[in-house]
Structure 1
Amino acid sequence: MRRWLGRSSLFLGALSLSVVSVVAQAAGFDHVARLADKGFVISAQAQLLDSGEVLGALNPSQPLSPASVTKLYTAAAALDRWGPQHRFTTRFVSTGALDGNGVLHGDLVLEGGGDPALTSEELWRLIQKLRELGVSSIDGQLVISQWRFGPVTCETSDRCKTQTEGTNAYASLLSSAAVNYGSWCATVMPGVVGQPARITSCDTVAPTLRIENDVTTVAAGGSADLYAKRDTDSQGDTLKISGRIPAGTYPRPIYKASSDPADQTGQTLLSLLRQAGVPVSGGYAVSRQAPPPSAKGLAAVEGKPLQELLLRTLNYSNNFMADTLALDLTSGTQQNLPDAGRELERFATSLPGHGAAILRSGSGLTPENRVSAQSVNALLGAMYGNASLFPTFVAGMQVPTNGPMHFIRRGSQTFQDHVMLKTGTLNEPVTVRAVAGYFRTDSGRWGSFAVLVNGTASTPYLSWRETLPMVADDLTAMIDRH
């Protein structure tokens, strides 16, 4: 489903005819160019979208790592494939028969539909639909089917480490049957001063994994100091939480990636079924096989519209959601991130004026991803030229003055109010600070920009506190001139 016709093709054609020397172009990025003196490699370009006029550029065709700016490609490809109102469906199916007493004789299969935002709330709605059919118990197993993809082979050191130890939520593992973004959640609440804190599951009445509680309740007035990690052994996951929490403090949620998202779904769903009064005699199992053709649908729940998924994916730079969406673009069974990357590459190279791209993931966690500032602007221009998709696409970007990520609230008021952006950050194996998006001039003209800054093994650490004001100063000058 390709829609890249009309105004975007005209402006990109004009852009391809623009031949400006590197020296002249660099004048538009005077501040950003200073990073080259420290050894950083830069690809930058800004342009007006109605005319294709290049306002500034610095090595615009140099392929560099875009980090999470990659998510713009995933969002655009998803919108192009499905449109803003698409919803992913999760189903209960079974080959068993329901008797007059409400007993389902046979396995109950959860068929994962690759919903990037499937949560316990959706599972509860699914169980309610099962109860409406009169199902009161399962004489068989609960089977979690991740036949589309999962477990997905890890492609980065962070995700490979997550298989045995979870110290964060941003590197969650992937499955088409994952729930709660592939992460466990526990809530820490103060107890009696001097005694252990209270810890409960965010998602079920009783915790579905082992919890080691080494959190002490201290006197009111202090600050909470919590440390948590998830360990895995032969018996499964354990969430270990230590530290202190003051009396009277509001509850604190803790999120850590699980070692096996489909297994996490099995534990969570089994607990919710029991909580709903629907016992399962055979426990649960995880399968990579599709349900047999003879399986009949029992209940289904649709997830949130794609436009809402993209808002969360881009605004919060959610790696789990982005990579799940990229995997959803693939066809066949048991797909992995390189397969998803090839789909994104095909999409990118189909855009007028884009050129070659290397995309190994939809999130940008893979440091091998390579695009140029010129290519990112081709993507932004194509989306701007698509009247039916552009509003949803741009809505996922942050306006610095009121975006959820506070670190972008830098620069002039012009930058704060006139720019819509997506950032990308990597610290290993080299520093990456990338930013791309749109701007509007006081006269109402639209422009797009991309600034990709990559370090080397010998460059110093580069913070956003240092980088973003440089980008803001250069864009402010361009906006003010037009």
Structure 2
Amino acid sequence: MKRKFSRRQFLGSAAALTIAGAAPAMAAPPVSSLRPVLRGEDFFKRAVRSADTILGEAKLRGKVSFAVSNATTGQGLEAQDAAVARPPASVAKAITALYALDALGPDHRFETRLLATGGVVEGEIMGDLVLMGGNDSTLDTDALAAMASDLKAAGIIGVRGAFKVYEGAIPSLPRIDPKQPDQVGYNPGVSGLALNYNRVHFEWKRASGKYNITMEGRTEKYRPAVRMAAMQIRDRSSPVYTYEDRGGIDAWTVARGALGGSGSRWLPVRKPGLYAGEVFQSLAGSQGIRLGAPKMIATKPTGEVLVRHQSPTLRRILRDMLKWSTNLTAEMMGLAATDALGHKVDSLKASAEHMNDWARANIGMQSVSLVDHSGLGDDSRVTANDMVKALVEVHSKGLREILKPIAMRDEKRRVIKDHPIKVDAKTGTLNFVSSLAGYLTGPDGTEMAFAIFAADTSIRATLTRAEREAPAGGISWNRRAKRMQQQLIERWGVLYGA
């Protein structure tokens, strides 16, 4: 059952642990009257636990930076080590969202096109058919199926030339962060043409002692198989997965002992354009339009646009990015923004440097140092002071409306319904890194901007590349950090918003 909290109950509960543990119970009445100096809500405010106590209980002293300010006036309310730069993890995506909105505008839509070179005669394309990416990170197999259907509806029955794919609207990169394990789906390749967030669906089923394997660009409606990603089973116990680029193919192996009877997972795609091209080739074939194998091209083509597919608005894309924390979307939006501002780059770091410059010039940040747009890279650093300054600067510009509502929870991690503090923020999680930044509204309606960055970089530095998917102790560390974040927010709600 979800618990309901009144404002008064909240004030009492926030101080309860401190009150209970402040002193032992008296065995006899005092010899003189006690002066009633603390009454009502003042009592609760005096009794609330200190920030140092909260950090100590979480065993995170010396590893946490935080700051909180009045979101309207910018007045600083409380801070600790707020000038110490720490990894922001996915909180960096909030900065990327502001950058993209400023460069492209909230109503911007990305367009994927089918282009004919050489003209069309009696339904046959005389030249080539080109699938042109336009930086739409939301493109999926369903959308490509609709484009194939639209191509047929346009009267196309064949292609005399080749089927080509252009993904060069932004730089093409095989992965976001080379330090991550090969198999993690949140670290795919990046290019101007994405499909299914650049992940391929690997599924296995054992029958009669043998495994049946599929590698597909799967959605609920379609399951087109691909050739550009291949899996082989190996008789070993570890490593569970290996990857290599073998002759233009994403070549995977998996340990037989790790499979069990059946299962599935999404694996990252390192060749996004080729992946989208193979899936479209299959879908066009189902419409009776036979295409040759996709050929990648580096030069932007010209010709007649036959089919267009538009993405949702940028504001909608960013709202979903902040909710689901999709790294690919962050990198594509950041690179697209950098390009729109007239900067030609060849790496995420170079693009992030332009975003850092923009953040210093436009949202009050002073020492921001990001190496990508998603926060996945180890070397990104942000201070709590800088993050709060940015949140105050953009307070009236609609960022809170696209941030994710963060539920307040009880000691058993159950959501507390109608909690008097309302939080909209961006979370950030890496191994031994946990961040939270955004806005909170106290019980009395006071709105605050806050940032909490927790990181144990000494433990993180000891992890091997293989350990980064699920390191020992990582889950318990993260839980302690998240509990600490809520306790700090409750503290601020009592002291500055009640």
TM-score by length of 2: 0.75
Native 8 Å contact 1:329 1:343 kept in 2:
no
Instruction: Quote how far apart the aligned CAs of 1:29 are.
Output: 2.7
Distance 2:128 2:367 in 1: 47
Report the secondary structure of 1:167's partner residue. Answer: coil
Native 8 Å contact 1:313 1:322 kept in 2:
yes
Instruction: Quote how far apart the aligned CAs of 1:347 are.
Output: 2.4
Distance 1:90 1:205 in 2: 21
Report the secondary structure of 2:275's partner residue. Answer: helix
Instruction: Quote how far apart the aligned CAs of 1:398 are.
Output: 3.5
Equivalent in the alignment of 2:80: 58
Equivalent in the alignment of 2:486: 472
Distance 1:198 1:32 in 2: 50
Equivalent in the alignment of 1:111: 132
Native 8 Å contact 1:422 1:436 kept in 2:
yes
Native 8 Å contact 1:412 1:473 kept in 2:
no
Offset from partner CA, 1:146-174 (integer Å, 9 cap, x none):
22223226563246x6xxxx412011110
Native 8 Å contact 2:67 2:80 kept in 1:
yes
Check 1:432–1:192 CA distance in 2 against 1; reply closer, same or farther (3 A cut). closer
Q: 2:401 aligns with which of 387, 394, 400?
A: 394
Q: 1:264 aligns with which of 272, 275, 278?
A: 275
Q: 1:168 aligns with which of 174, 184, 207?
A: 184
Equivalent in the alignment of 2:458: 457
Q: Is 1:207 aligned to residue 225 of structure 2?
A: yes
Q: Is 1:182 aligned to residue 182 of structure 2?
A: no
Structure with max Cα Rg: 2
Native 8 Å contact 1:400 1:410 kept in 2:
no
Offset from partner CA, 1:84-113 (integer Å, 9 cap, x none):
33211111122222111x211211111211
Check 1:416–1:199 CA distance in 2 against 1; reply closer, same or farther (3 A cut). farther
How many residues align structurally?
420
State the AA in 2 paired with 1:296.
E
Report the secondary structure of 1:299's partner residue. Answer: strand
Equivalent in the alignment of 1:48: 70
Native 8 Å contact 2:104 2:337 kept in 1:
no
Native 8 Å contact 2:72 2:395 kept in 1:
no
Native 8 Å contact 2:176 2:187 kept in 1:
no
Offset from partner CA, 1:363-383 (integer Å, 9 cap, x none):
001122121101111221122
Report the secondary structure of 1:110's partner residue. Answer: strand
Instruction: Quote how far apart the aligned CAs of 1:450 are.
Output: 0.5
Aligned-residue CA RMSD (Å): 3.3
Q: Is 1:93 aligned to residue 107 of structure 2?
A: no
Distance 2:318 2:363 in 1: 23
Native 8 Å contact 1:410 1:468 kept in 2:
no
Check 1:450–1:283 CA distance in 2 against 1; reply closer, same or farther (3 A cut). same
Q: Is 1:129 aligned to residue 118 of structure 2?
A: no
Distance 1:151 1:291 in 2: 17
Structure 1 residues 310-349: aligned runs within 5 Å? 310-331=318-339, 335-349=346-360
Distance 1:279 1:334 in 2: 37
Instruction: Quote how far apart the aligned CAs of 1:257 are.
Output: 0.3
Q: State percent identity of aligned pairs.
A: 22
Check 1:183–1:62 CA distance in 2 against 1; reply closer, same or farther (3 A cut). same
* Structure 1 runs not aligned, ≥5 long: 1-26, 216-226, 247-251
Report the secondary structure of 2:69's partner residue. Answer: strand
* Structure 2 runs not aligned, ≥5 long: 1-48, 235-239, 463-472
Check 1:454–1:230 CA distance in 2 against 1; reply closer, same or farther (3 A cut). same
Instruction: Quote how far apart the aligned CAs of 1:199 are.
Output: 4.5
Report the more deviating stretch, 270-279 or 346-355.
346-355
Native 8 Å contact 2:203 2:264 kept in 1:
yes
Report the secondary structure of 2:458's partner residue. Answer: coil
Native 8 Å contact 1:111 1:145 kept in 2:
yes
Distance 2:412 2:368 in 1: 27
Report the more deviating stretch, 338-347 or 114-123.
338-347
TM-score by length of 1: 0.77
Distance 1:304 1:362 in 2: 20
Instruction: Quote how far apart the aligned CAs of 1:326 are.
Output: 0.6
Distance 2:411 2:210 in 1: 37
Equivalent in the alignment of 1:218: none
Check 1:283–1:310 CA distance in 2 against 1; reply closer, same or farther (3 A cut). same
